[in-house]
Amino acid sequence: MLRLFLGLFLVMTVGLVAALQTVEHTFNALLDNQMQAYNREAVRGQAWSLVEHMRDQQGAAREAQLEALRPHYGLTLSLIEADQLNLNDQEKAELAQDLLVIRDDYTQFISNIDGGSQLLSIKLPPEPSLMPFYIAGAYLMLAVLLGIVLYFWVRPHWRDLEKLRLAAERFGDNDLSVRIQLSKRSNIRDLAGHFNLMAARIEGLIANQRELTNAVSHELRTPIARLSFELDQLKQQPDASQNRELIADMYADLGELEEMVSELLTYASLERGATVITRENIQAANWLDSVVGSVALEAEAAGVQLLIVDCRVDEVRIEPRFMARAVINLLRNAIRYAEQRVEVSLVRIGDQYEVQVNDDGPGVPLAGREKIFEPFSRLDASRDRRTGGFGLGLALVRRVSQSHGGQVEVGDSPWGGASFRMTWAHLD
């Protein structure tokens, strides 16, 4: 606090003194003519009286007359020759008009006596000898008062900044849960709010990273273990026909690994905001047909009827690659759990698009409807290729919808299965 206070105090003190001096000199320059007229009027009577007493005197008599008058005026009076004053043209013109010439910040007045070369100099009494000390004391008092006011202004700011510093220090020491609570009157409340948002975001990202790391390591073990087992079996298998079956299983495991890595990279790219979402206007019916067609064989192999029941949109504004991936994941999830049929629709409601995927499977329990959108989260423990999956598909759907300004949720379909609704905003 001391450094902050001293820094502000010095800056404000020097700035105040400089401002006062600037204002004084500026107004002196602007009001010089008015001030000269005012001071000329103030001294004009005394100058006229003195000149009248000396006008008819010459030489030593004039000096003696001035000496006799000097004690009665309280002014510094003297006779001076014009060539000793280095008068400029303006001053000469003023004397020719019987006006007083003013010098030395309105403290010296020079008057014409009889039109000759000898002039009367009138100086106001000098300021008290302690005046510089009085001025210095006044500035010191002003600085002290300024310091007192500044202290009471700086103290709450320093207190809040100290809280922010300590919170940042604790956050840097891996206390990611630290947050700042400040008074509503605090001037850095907005800054504290942004710090809290940043801290929450970083805490969430680190938590997600840890979960992803743990989950990825866990998910990779199964296909790698199967590959290792199948390689061992391949070494010991003398029958070539059985070798082909093992090799096919190994290719399937490699495909599973490749698919998981692809989804993981896509999810991580969206999670950390490294991917720029560039929307395009796409012909809706053709796009939806191509998306559904990409999983048609999977539906046929599973004995599931896949239908587009509604597409009341001419154009849809999306990032086509990511959105297609999201809808494909919804369809694959529905096909995986459906008994006989899966239906998909694309409509526009107000300023939002909506893709809905319904199936006639077992549905999703209420307690798990939020959990299924978390990465590597599954409600069943099945590990076969029909219902296993990686737990990344629906998490990726949520990230894609969020990147488009929307959301995804699950409810009950008309047949008792799951109904997934993904919405996103229409942006120009």
Q: Which residues contact 357 (CB under 8 A, 6 or more apart)?
A: 327, 330, 331, 333, 334, 342, 343, 344, 419, 420
Mean pLDDT by 10 residues, the chain (428 residues): 74 84 85 86 88 84 87 87 87 87 88 86 83 83 86 82 87 86 82 88 77 62 72 71 71 71 66 66 91 90 92 87 88 91 91 92 88 70 42 80 88 92 83
What CA–CA distance (Å, rounded) separates 130 from 134? Answer: 6
Cα 108–Cα 114–Cα 119 angle in degrees, nearest 5: 30
Which residue(s) pair with 120 in the sheet? 79, 111
SS3 category, 169? helix
Rounded distance, CA 90 to CA 83, Å?
A: 15
- How far is 406 from 330, CA to CA, in rounded Å? 15
Give the up-direction half-sphere exposure of residue 140: CA atoms within 13 A in the CB hemisphere: 6
Three-point CA angle 415, 417, 420, nearest 5°: 115
Would you state the pLDDT for residue 270? 64
Give the model's pLDDT for residue 343: 94
Q: What is the pTM of this model?
A: 0.48
105: left (phi over 0), alpha (psi -120 to 50) or beta: left
Per-residue pLDDT at 346: 93
Confirm if 205 and 231 have CB atoms less than 8 A apart: no
Residues near 358 by Cβ (< 8 Å), separated by ≥ 6?
334, 342, 343, 344, 413, 414, 415, 417, 418, 419, 420
Residue 334 has a pLDDT of: 92
- Backbone phi, psi, residue 384, to 5°: -75, 165
Amino acid identity of residue 214, one-letter, is N
